[in-house]
Amino acid sequence: MAAASAAGPVAGPSDEVLPIPVQSIFPPLKPQGTADDALATGRVVNGHYALTAPASKPWRIAFLFPHLKDPYWIGCSYGVISEARRLGVAVDILPADGYNDLVGQLRKMDESIAARYDAIVISPISLTGNNPAIDRARKMGIPVFELANDSTSDSLAVKVTTSLKAMGGNAMDWVIRDAQKRGLNTINVALLPGPEGAGWVSGEVTGSHEAARRAPIKVNILDTLYGDSDLIGQTQLAAQLIARHGQKLDYILGCTGCAPAAILPVREAGLGGRIRIVAYDLTRNIADSIRKGEIAAAADTKGVSQARVATNAVVSYLEGRGGKLPHTILIKLGLVDRSNAARYPFSASIAPEGYVPVLSYRPGAGR
C-alpha cells in the first residue's frame, strides 16, 4: 500500500474535485451499440464535467458492481461514497461474486427493482446478458445508468465509461513506442485481458489488435488467455503463457487483476529482463509496481472519476437539471509510466491510501 507516497498525494473526500475532462455523446447513434459505437456514430462534444450541487432530497441509488476483489472497484466504491456524502443521497453498493456470477448480478438487479430504488447504476458483467433486466427496470419506471463496464442496452438513461477500444489501443501504442526505443523491429506479445464476454474485455482486445495492425513495426499477438480477474486464476494463466512461449515473449498486456498477477511467473522464469508487463488500467498496486519497475506502464480509465460522474449524472437526472443529458459520457483516458509517475494526478483514478470500502451511505447516519 506504499503507492500513495510514491505516486503522489491522493485527494481525500473533502478536497476540491476539478471539472473532469470528458467527451459527451448525443444522438443520432447506432442502435444496440457499444460506447465505442456511440463515439463513432454520435455527435461528440469535448469538454469538462462539472460536479452538480447537492440534491434536494436523499434519493436512493443502487450500484451493482461485478465484485470488490481488486483495487479498481475499490476505487470506484470510493468515488461513489465520497460523492454520495457530498450530494446528500443514499447509496448501496451491491457487488456480485465476480465475472462468473452473472446470475448473482441479475438477482441483485431483481432485488433492486423490487426495493424500488430511485435509480440503479450497473457495471454489467456481460455486454448483452444484463440487457433484459435493464429493460425490466425501465418498464417499472426506474432509470438505469451504466458505470465503467459496457452494455449494448438501449434502455439505459446514461452511459458513463471510457473508450474501451482506446484503452487497449493506448496500452499497445505504448508497447510499440517502447519497442522502437529498444531497437526492436518485431515483437511478440501476449494478452491477459480478463473475463471473456465482458464489454471492457472485448474493447481492450479489439483496440490492442487495431493498434498492432497499424504499427510501424511487426507486432505478433501470440496468445490471448481469458479468465476472471482474481489473482490466483490470473497467476495460473500467466504461468501458462510463460510455459507456452517463454523466451519468445517481449510483452504481456493485462487487465488490473491480470497484469500484477504476471509479475511473479515472469520473475520465477528468470525473464524479468526480457518481458515487460503493461496494464490496461490503473490501480494503487499497479502504480506501486510501476514505481518499482515491475510493471512498465498502464493506461488509465480513471475509475474514481467515472464513479463521481456517474453519481452526479444520476442526481442531475433525478433532479431534472441541465436539460437533455448525453447518451454516453466518456472519461478521457490517461497513461502513466516511470517518466511521469511523480507528477501524475492519481486522485482522479485511485482511492486514498488505506481506504476501506464502504458499501452503504445514508445522509445523517454518520457514514
Residue pLDDT, tens place only, 262-296:
999 999 999 999 999 999 999 999 999 999 999 99
Single out the residue of 68, 66, 51, 70 nearest to residue 13, CA to CA. 51
> Dihedral (C-alpha) 158, 164, 34, 29: value to the nearest 10 degrees?
70
Question: Residue 218: beta bridge partners?
Answer: 186
Instruction: Identify the CATH homologous superfamily for domain 164-300.
Output: Response regulator (3.40.50.2300)
- Name the phi and psi angles at 161, rounded to 5: -155, -155
Q: Cell numbers for 250, please give them.
A: 517481449
Question: Residue 337: beta bridge partners?
Answer: 297
20-162+302-332+348-361 adopts what CATH topology?
Answer: Rossmann fold (3.40.50)
CB neighbour class for 150 (10 Å; exposed up to 12, middle 13-18, buried from 19): buried
Q: Would you call 139 helix, strand, or coil by DSSP?
A: helix
CA distances for 258 relative to 41, 80, 165, 229, 263, angstroms: 32, 24, 18, 6, 9
- The confidence score (pLDDT) of residue 366 equals 55
Q: For residues 225 and 243, is the Cβ–Cβ distance under 8 A?
A: no
Q: Cell numbers for 178, please give them.
A: 517502447
CATH 3.40.50.2300 range(s) for the chain read 20-162+302-332+348-361, 164-300
Range list of β-strands (E), 139-208: 144-147, 158-161, 186-194
In which residue are the cell numbers 494503487 written? 284
Share of the chain above pLDDT 70, in %: 95
pTM for the whole thing?
0.91
pLDDT tens for each residue of 287-342: 999 999 999 999 999 999 999 999 999 999 999 997 889 999 999 999 999 999 99
pLDDT tens for each residue of 131-180: 999 999 999 999 999 999 999 999 999 999 999 999 999 999 999 999 99
Q: Cell numbers for 181, please give them.
A: 526505443
